[in-house]
Chains A and B, each alone.
Chain A
Amino acid sequence: MPRELTQNRIQKIWIPSKDDKPSMPRIPHGGPHLANPPTVIVMVGLPARGKTYISRKLTRYLNWIGIPTKVFNVGEYRREAVKHFSSYDFFKSDNEDAVKIRQQCALAALRDVKIYLTEEEGQVAVFDATNTTRERRDIILEFGAENGFKIFFIESVCEDPNVIACNILEVKVSCPDYQDCNKTDAVEDFKKRIECYRVNYQPLDPDQYDRNLSFIKVIDVGRRFLVNRIQDHIQSRIVYYLMNIHVQPRSIYLCRHGESQHNLQGRLGGDSGLSTRGRKFAGALADFVEEQNLQDLKVWTSQLRRSIQTAEALNVPYEQWKGLNEIDAGVCEEMTYEEVRERFPEEFALRDQDKYYYRYPSGESYQDLVQRVEPLIMELERQENVLVICHQAVMRCLLAYFLDKSADEMPYLKCPLHTVLKLTPVAYGCKVESIFLNVEAVNTHRDRPEEVKRGPSTLIRRNSVTPLTSPEPNKKPRIEGLDDPTIREVTPAQLTLCSTTHTTLALSTQHWLSEACLRTFLHYLQVVSVLLFQRT
């Protein structure tokens, strides 16, 4: 009694139906089986070993490939609980009150992890803390066992003083903990903080104690890896990703081909050549690249004529990637938007309803693009300076990865012709510079139409691949003046002298800490209530 199949109107996916109504669809593959147990990734390592850097980058990647992931940074919880950071004394292992607070913060974070994975359709939670003792890790393992979560440890081990010093300067000195200190004092205090942890540090031991755990030990920023007991697909992907990323300074330049003949006519897709202005842009691009004076720039194009013609003007070797080809508009290829609206009015409307999932008949969707472009992202991570000359939809996909944009935002990112975006990794995110090369071109951007009604029922979100913006680290409500530094540039640390409040606070520690404990609970309650009503 085989069931009848109907084709979902937006994604063009065949699903079994009863009475011509689509029922729960089969999982279209692109990500891991969502029926699998959720995974908690547990970071391990002394301070300034890149744990938060890895947590955030990994989360961004997993969300982009459609695996709902979220970071839970225990330091943030601690900053919520203890409003004013005094000094490294807080982290001394004999500071009983502080130890208690830190434990409570960890437990609060774990509680939020549980909520995210069981009630908010999270698939992966990244528990970002030092987790340097076996005792702490055993608590987490128990937590995982109780809740049916898989546990995967990522340990970062590094003793290179240059790397550590660099980390401290890039992300610690400007951290809220040190906003009242000058740079030197901050660095000094932080180093003492590290020593507090070092005393009790029990690294993962693959030979004895931890031989049955699943983990990867990243040694010396990726020079060496020790990988133990990978359990499943997602852990294998995570390991592959971690083995491909690096921290060498470099820039990625994204731009579209020069204006094409089809662009001039307002036509989608096709394989036309450059217009006059497009050729002018290619020349301007060549000048721009020269000015940038880069070591070893790799140039990538798609296999479509317009992007290759653009690269030709640069007079440097370039590589063609089929994966960078523009989104396939299927039956709508080479039509103008007006022609599409005339000949396929329903398709036209459906696309505006859900531009990310919408697949052109016999063509592709943005969702398909993400899958197609993923190996390129992996290779971009391995590379250093690269210029990618691609197309509007493809560039939006790539940009969404680097700037952590959701599936909802991706199809509407602005990627105008004749404009180069220079992306430079900095701190925990990416700096973007937009450079218009001063050659006029048509505008090919279509904004999200205002009057479009968002249809709910036809969209199959539950089991499908959906890039999500990495959610805010869990620490609501926010402390005044504390912005999430994901995208904007890291500002230099305040140069105010470390004030006398520092000493005053140290003296009033006792009273202040007990107040902090009460505040922790209140904040915890607030956090929980906010989460319960939060839309995913």
Chain B
Amino acid sequence: MRGASRSKNTQILDKRVCMTNCPTLIVTVGLPARGKTYISKKLTRYLNWIDVPTKEFNVGQYRRECVKIYKSFEFFRPDNEEGLKIRKQCALAALNDVRQFLTDEGGQVAVFDATNTTRERRETIIRFAEQNGFKVFFVESVCEDPDVIAENIVQVKLGSPDYTHCNTEEAVADFMKRIKCYENSYQPLDEELDRDLSFIKIIDVGRRYLVNRVQDHIQSRIVYYLMNIHITPRSIYLCRHGESDLNVKGRIGGDSGLSARGKQFADALGQFIQSQNISDLKVWTSQMKRTIQTAEAVGVTYEQWKALNEIDAGVCEELMYEEIQLKFPLEFALRDQDKYRYRYPKGESYEDLVQRLEPVIMELERQENVLVICHQAVMRCLLAYFLDKTAEELPYLKCPLHTVLKLTPVAYGCKVESVCLKVEAVNTHRDRPTNVDVSRQAEEALLTVPDHQ
């Protein structure tokens, strides 16, 4: 949430009192293959999308930098002094970078991704945070389900740089021994001993949570997010409504119906969905006529979300780009200068859209198979969330009409399949022109406007 309030943290006296806008250090805790990096990356992606500058610091990466070639699990043996020294140095190097990110680079949240399984290590981190005026929030993942662990190893460990020269069996065997190295000294977060720390303990991939001392808004949002995500395999289908009458005329916004080709697309979409043979598909539309008409053709129950409505172009609603250049040349230039933050007069910005769409993203995380029939700007926002695109890239993501994007979570990210349903449509994508200066000529401004009737 933009401009979210941060309340004063007035905890125990000998710690430095954190003032408002205190950066937060999220610290993962857990044995290997418990999903720490998965959580770190996903959380980082979410926080950045809601405009909280966040970065993850994976100590394993630092170790790989330091020890160029990974030999075997022996490196992680608790009696391997050389190994211990290197691992400690890597942790400190990472913490140093954390400090730089949070103090010098305008970072708001840093995710310190490592096992952090001993109380001693965690104490080091807490002292570090206190010295620098950072709040600390621990995220521990506890899991003893052998199937889940095995699946994790297969999905992300086998492909790790550590095991490029091993076959599957060798890799798995080595990794299991690696886990053993940590098990003996593992001190999980404890309700009693750690009762003054702020943390969430995630047990068995979300079956149970223990939440202790949530200090502020951002921690509350993080907890809510972590409690809504799951790892059940599923796919999310994103597409726009079929081509509309206003699309054909090159006009933006409005609430028009489908053109003839748009209706064709709707039918093709219905067939495509059927062919995918998806179990329990939820279909979501906006409250605008063109998406609902499209959903009607798919023939299944759908839900209308006002939050999925297209960006409100305010005074520019239903105008062509040529008309906008004529009537509001200054606005037109300003938009090209910063398309993400630019708000149409009496309308919205992409930034506003993200805020509006956050509950949709939260519900998408809870759901399984979903088809979202929405609009160009809205689809760009959703796509940016799933594909971890920046604010700069977001407004220029290509989301053509009559094309379905199938997103399937895999490893630490998202696989995208683009399916063009072979029904012709106008192009509505306008690239950023070279000249965005307010003094530019009309032709320069209109250079990238796509063709229309």
Give residues in A with beta carbon < 8 Å to B. 2-3, 5, 7, 13-14, 16, 26-30, 33, 206, 223-230, 233, 236, 239-240, 243-244, 296, 298, 319-323, 333, 362, 368, 371, 375, 379, 382-384
Contact = CB atoms under 8 A, between A and B. Distances in A.
A29 B191 contact: no
Contact of A228 (B191, B208, B223, B352): B208
B306 A229 contact: no
Given A224-B211, A226-B209, A298-B5, A29 B296 contact: no
A320 B210 contact: no
A323 to B, nearest CB: 8
Interface in B280-313: 284, 287-289, 292-293, 296-297, 301-307
Nearest to B299: A2
Contacts of B152: none
A14 B289 contact: yes
15 contacts: A2-B263, A5-B296, A26-B292, A28-B304, A29-B304, A29-B305, A224-B210, A224-B213, A233-B366, A319-B3, A321-B3, A322-B355, A323-B355, A375-B1, A379-B1
A223 B5 contact: no
B220 A382 contact: yes
Nearest to A224: B212
B164 interface: no
B227 interface: yes
Contacts of A224: 191, 195, 210-213
A28 B306 contact: yes
Given A223-B213, A244-B220, A229 B207 contact: yes
A357 to B, nearest CB: 13
B8 interface: yes
Contact of A243 (B223, B287, B289, B317): B223
B34 to A, nearest CB: 18
Interchain residue pairs A-B with the least CB separation, the first 5: A227-B209, A29-B305, A225-B211, A2-B296, A224-B212
B363 interface: yes
B208 A225 contact: no
The bracket for how many chain B residues form the interface is 35 or more
B214 interface: yes
Contacts of B302: 26
A29 B293 CA distance: 17
A226 B304 CA distance: 34
Interface in B182-234: 191, 195, 207-214, 217, 220, 223-224, 227-228
A417 to B, nearest CB: 23
Contact of A322 (B4, B191, B305, B352): B352
B59 interface: no
Given A13-B304, A26-B301, A28-B304, A243 B214 contact: yes
Contacts of B211: 224-227, 243
Given A30-B306, A227-B211, A5 B7 contact: no
A227 B227 contact: yes
Nearest to A29: B305
A324 B303 CA distance: 26
B377 interface: no
Interface of B: 1-5, 7-8, 191, 195, 207-214, 217, 220, 223-224, 227-228, 257, 263, 266, 284, 287-289, 292-293, 296-297, 301-307, 317, 346, 352, 355, 363, 366
A448 to B, nearest CB: 26
A223 B212 contact: yes
Nearest to A322: B352
A227 B228 CA distance: 12
Contact of A236 (B217, B227, B346): B227
A26 B7 contact: no
Contacts of A228: 207-208
B347 to A, nearest CB: 10
A329 B5 CA distance: 29
A321 B220 CA distance: 19
Contacts of A28: 287, 304, 306
A501 B1 CA distance: 59
B227 A239 contact: yes
Nearest to B267: A2
Contacts of A320: 3
> Which residue of A28, A227, A362 has the most chain B CB atoms within 10 A of its CB atom?
A227
Contact of B217 (A223, A230, A322, A382): A382
Nearest to B288: A14
Contacts of A5: 257, 289, 292-293, 296
Contacts of A384: 7
A29 B370 CA distance: 15
Contacts of B8: 296
Given A206-B208, A228-B207, A240 B224 contact: yes
A385 to B, nearest CB: 11
Contact of B209 (A16, A30, A225): A225
Contacts of B301: 26
B92 to A, nearest CB: 31
B232 to A, nearest CB: 14
Contacts of A2: 263, 266, 293, 296-297
B363 A230 contact: no
A206 B208 CA distance: 9
A316 to B, nearest CB: 13
Given A223-B212, A296-B8, A322-B355, A26 B220 contact: no
A250 to B, nearest CB: 11
Contact of B228 (A33, A236, A322, A333): A236
Nearest to A229: B207
